[in-house]
């Protein structure tokens, strides 16, 4: 499985919650990303978050649609995020939603690791493209 690395820029904006979720204590954010490197793509998505009463504890889920080129193959796919922080200790899983690859990215599987160093965002993306039946 190839593993590629690069940087990305992200703009996060607060969004209004649905009428049903207004009293839930959740936060809702929109995501706009630009990936650089072997993944040359833009992405849009949404995040829901919850903060615990304990400092440094929280959780979030997000989905983003990524469109562009991956190692020269054009198409789109979805990434699913599930993150938590337990008293400052982070845990994050970001995976390709099965069977969402389009164009030359049909059959895409994989997982992405996000690193933030000195306020700069980096990704490491391990992926495979398998022939679909």
* DSSP letter (8 states) at residue 133: -
Please tell me the predicted confidence (pLDDT) of residue 110: 98
For the chain (133 residues), the mean pLDDT of every run of 10, in chain order, is: 95 93 92 98 97 94 98 97 95 97 97 95 97 71
Please name the residues in contact with 116: beta carbons below 8 A apart, sequence gap of 6 or more.
122
SS3 assignment for 87-131? CCEEEEEEEECCCCCCHHHCCEEEEEEEEEECCEEEEEEEEEECC
Q: Residue 94 is encoded by which pair of tokens?
A: 């970001």
Please tell me the predicted confidence (pLDDT) of residue 19: 87
């Amino acid at each position: 499985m190839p593993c590629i690395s690069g940087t990305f820029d992200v703009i996060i904006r607060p969004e209004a919650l649905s009428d049903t979720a207004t009293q839930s204590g959740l936060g809702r954010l929109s995501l706009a990303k630009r990936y650089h490197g072997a993944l040359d793509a833009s992405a849009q998505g949404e995040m829901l978050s919850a903060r615990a009463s304990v400092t440094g504890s929280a959780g979030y889920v997000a989905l983003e649609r990524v469109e562009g080129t991956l190692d020269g193959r054009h198409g789109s796919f979805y990434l699913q995020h599930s993150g938590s922080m337990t008293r400052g200790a982070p845990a994050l899983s970001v995976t390709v939603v099965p069977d969402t690859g389009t164009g030359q990215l049909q059959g895409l599987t994989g997982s992405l690791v996000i690193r933030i160093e000195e306020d700069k965002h980096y990704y490491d993306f391990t992926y495979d493209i398998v022939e679909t039946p």
